[in-house]
Copies of this chain bind each other. A is one copy, B any other.
Amino acid sequence: MSPAGRPRTRAAVFDLVRAARRISRVDLAARSGLTPATITEVVRELLELELVVEAGRGASTGGKPPMLIELNPEARYAVGVLYERNLCTVTVVDLTGRAMATSSSPGTSLMPPEQALPVVAERIGRLLDEAGIERGRVLGAGLATYGPQDRRAGVVLTHQPTADWFGHPVAGRLSELLGLPVLLDNDAVAAAIGEHWLGGVGSGTFGCLYMASGIGGGVVVDGEVYRGASSNGVEVGHITVDVDGGPCDCGNHGCLGNYADPRAVIGQAMRVPGLDRRLGLDPADSDVITSFVRIAAAASGGDPEARTLIERSARLLGTAAVTLTTLFDLECIVLAGPAFGAATWIYQSVIQDELQRRAFVRRVHPVRVVPSVNGSDAAAIGAAALVLQSELASLQLQELYRAR
């Protein structure tokens, strides 16, 4: 078998080492179902590439204690970007997915892609320079943004933030600017991947409710991202919660987002006399996330009117969590994204309550609600994890050698 001939096997072994932190070849064979001979060969390749290192001997199970191997964190890096109209978060992670450096800055607002992407590339370059990471050790960049999109082609299929973006080959253009492979994915899906990669949810079946300016979702089934026909599923902000509800820009009506997302809650807050002044909300401010986080902080801090608004939003997200669980049969709901902010605990408690009362599967197995381990940066970290998974699986070994 040629060394480059089995990328999926190599990626699977790599993923087992990552998940176990330290593991022997015998345990790798047992957990992967691969033969000891295959494990020996794949581990030899990974050692030669310095992607893993030997890490001392484990406990004896009778004979000589087995040599353990673990990832070599600094062997390679990956970049992750969350691109939102109002927020651009760039992170660089090591081979274990740990964030080495992160920068968050305002988004590029209404800039067309030809202007916005060089700004993003420049921010990535600056972050790598500041963190002292050689370009040759960076596997690529993951670009997480909202949908719909043609993930394989690296093209966004939305008119947000402006019509110029529709059909623009964002991944190809950013790749040219960086000189690195770029993968495009949905922000909520990226957050779900990051949660699986770094989170406590492990190999289970879970859904991610992602809230930034809008509400998105991702589902991971037994450690694999749910993709559907075109990777444009789990758009939880656009499911109907009120059959008689008003129209949404997406074409549907009564969509969850129109009642519960940051933009909707800010609109509701503006209609509560005096609340806008008390919280310093400016109707002209287009930075939805910052305004919303202010309401969330006030709710968390005991402001009764802000609390009412956030609880109503949380109840509606609870309905979406119930629908997601009843359809995908989930064991856990992860709350991720920059908007939950200080009110994460309110959302967590209200959504948990809704699931306990209403989820169809609640008598078959419990459904937990947890905040993301990656906090506000979940999508950016997940986008980088996506690159680690995908590039390690698909790169030819020659290229990995060349890059050293």
Contacts and interface: CB of A to CB of B under 8 A. Distances in A.
B362 A251 contact: yes
A82 B357 CA distance: 30
Nearest to A166: B363
B239 A327 contact: yes
B322 A357 contact: no
A331 B227 CA distance: 12
A217 B329 CA distance: 12
- Looking at chain A's contact residues, the main secondary structure is loop
A358 interface: yes
Contacts of A238: 326, 360
A241 interface: yes
A400 B330 CA distance: 37
Contacts of A235: 326-327, 360
User: Which interface residue of A229, A244, A253, A364 has the most chain B CB atoms within 10 A?
Assistant: A229
A284 interface: no
A311 to B, nearest CB: 14
A252 interface: yes
A389 interface: no
Contact of A327 (B250, B327, B359, B364): B327
Contact of A232 (B229, B250, B364): B364
Contacts of A328: 226, 228, 233, 327
A324 B326 contact: no
A240 interface: yes
A27 interface: no
Contacts of A47: none
B228 A322 contact: no
Contacts of A329: 227-234
B205 A243 contact: no
Interface in A204-262: 204-205, 217, 221, 226-236, 238-244, 250-253
A15 interface: no
Contacts of A360: 147-148, 232, 235, 238, 250-252
B242 A242 contact: yes
A316 interface: yes
Contacts of A217: 327
A217 B324 CA distance: 14
A192 B238 CA distance: 25
Given A148-B361, A230-B361, A360-B232, A252 B322 contact: yes
Nearest to A206: B229
A215 to B, nearest CB: 12
Interface string A327-347: 111110000000000000000
Interface of A: 147-148, 150, 157, 204-205, 217, 221, 226-236, 238-244, 250-253, 316, 319, 322-324, 326-331, 357-365
12 contacts: A147-B360, A157-B364, A204-B229, A229-B331, A231-B329, A232-B329, A233-B327, A238-B326, A239-B322, A250-B360, A252-B326, A252-B360
